[in-house]
Amino acid sequence: MAINFISDLHLDQSRPHINDYFIEYLKNVEKDITDLYILGDLFEYWVGDDDPMDGLGDVREAIIAAGEQIDIWYMHGNRDFLVSKKICKSLNIELLEDPHLLNKDGMRILLLHGDTLCTDDHDYQTFRSMVRSNKWQDEMLSKSLDERLEIANNLRKKSVEANQEKGEDIMDVNEDEVRSLINNYEPDVIIHGHTHRPNIHWYGNVTRYVLGDWYSNFFILSFDSKKFTINKGSLK
């Protein structure tokens, strides 16, 4: 039986085609896989566990049901880093640290969301350090739900505006950072998302898989019997 890796679904009520496909995928996963690894940005945003997840009730139920059949592992992304261990438990999923080293079939597979590799984007890394701090998160979660939703909307708008002024290379991974990761963890394979630039890169004996988003096409990386395969196709 295989294990699957996905990321960057950005589930939101404004993208029902993604929600619907993900629900159908979850209904059938136990036939093919034993584990599902979600490497960040499952949700478009997450401002606290008291958010009612408007329009995502069916997704929630599908995740819970799938979690009773297979092991689902989840890693924070840059959009949903406020998802708590408590809500993960209620969804039948296990929260992973970033990065996470997975040993499977004699292979060392290093998993991460991918934003920590984009070190040339200094403004983003400064922002990331701020919002990942306990102080910022405590202050954020102390605000009302409406206030948090407004802050999240404003942050997304600013992010879009800022990215339009940045070069494509700045928002991609830094190759020196990748090599540093290889030296520190000695993986056989690295898997991450975040950049929305699906590809395969090689560093000697190390392979780096970049997962794709699900905006118009689904993207699933499968691992079975020491072999990786990519399954992708249109959501329409």
**Angle, nearest 10°, between helix axes 134-141 and 122-131?**
60
CA 136 to chain centre: 21
Q: How far apart are CA 228 and CA 208, in angstroms?
A: 11
What confidence score (pLDDT) does residue 185 get?
Answer: 98
User: Strand order in 93-96's β-sheet?
Assistant: 93-96, 71-75, 33-38, 2-6, 217-224, 227-234
* Per-residue pLDDT tens over the stretch 55-67: 789 999 999 999 9
The dihedrals phi and psi of 194, each to the nearest 5 degrees, come to 75, -50
Q: Is the pLDDT of residue 148 over 70?
A: yes
Q: For residues 139-162, give the mean pLDDT.
A: 90
| Secondary structure letter of residue 91 according to DSSP | T
* Per-residue pLDDT tens over the stretch 109-132: 999 999 999 999 999 999 999 999
Q: How far apart are CA 157 and CA 73, in angstroms?
A: 29
* Per-residue pLDDT tens over the stretch 4-38: 999 999 999 889 999 999 999 999 888 889 999 99
Q: What percent of the chain is predicted at pLDDT more than 70? A: 99
Q: How far apart are CA 216 and CA 127, in angstroms?
A: 28
For the ranges 27-36, 163-172, 193-202, the lowest mean pLDDT is seen at 163-172
**Angle at the Cα of 112 (from 130 to 58), degrees rounded to 5?**
90
Q: Is the pLDDT of residue 168 over 80?
A: no
Q: For residues 173-189, give the mean pLDDT.
A: 97
What confidence score (pLDDT) does residue 164 get?
Answer: 74
Q: Is the pLDDT of residue 165 over 70?
A: no
* Per-residue pLDDT tens over the stretch 76-98: 999 999 999 999 999 999 999 99
Q: How far apart are CA 195 and CA 212, in angstroms?
A: 8
Q: For residues 175-180, give the mean pLDDT.
A: 97
Which helix (H) or strand (E) segment holds residue 4: the answer is strand 2-6
Q: For residues 146-171, give the mean pLDDT.
A: 83
Q: Is the pLDDT of residue 53 over 80?
A: no
Q: Is the pLDDT of residue 163 over 80?
A: no
pLDDT category, 48, cuts 50, 70, 90? very high
pTM: 0.95
Which of helix, strand or coil describes residue 211? coil
Is residue 42 a contact partner of residue 77, using CB atoms and an 8 Å limit? yes
All domains of the chain in start order, with CATH = 2-234 (3.60.21.10)
Q: Are strands 100-104 and 107-111 parallel, antiparallel or unpaired?
A: antiparallel
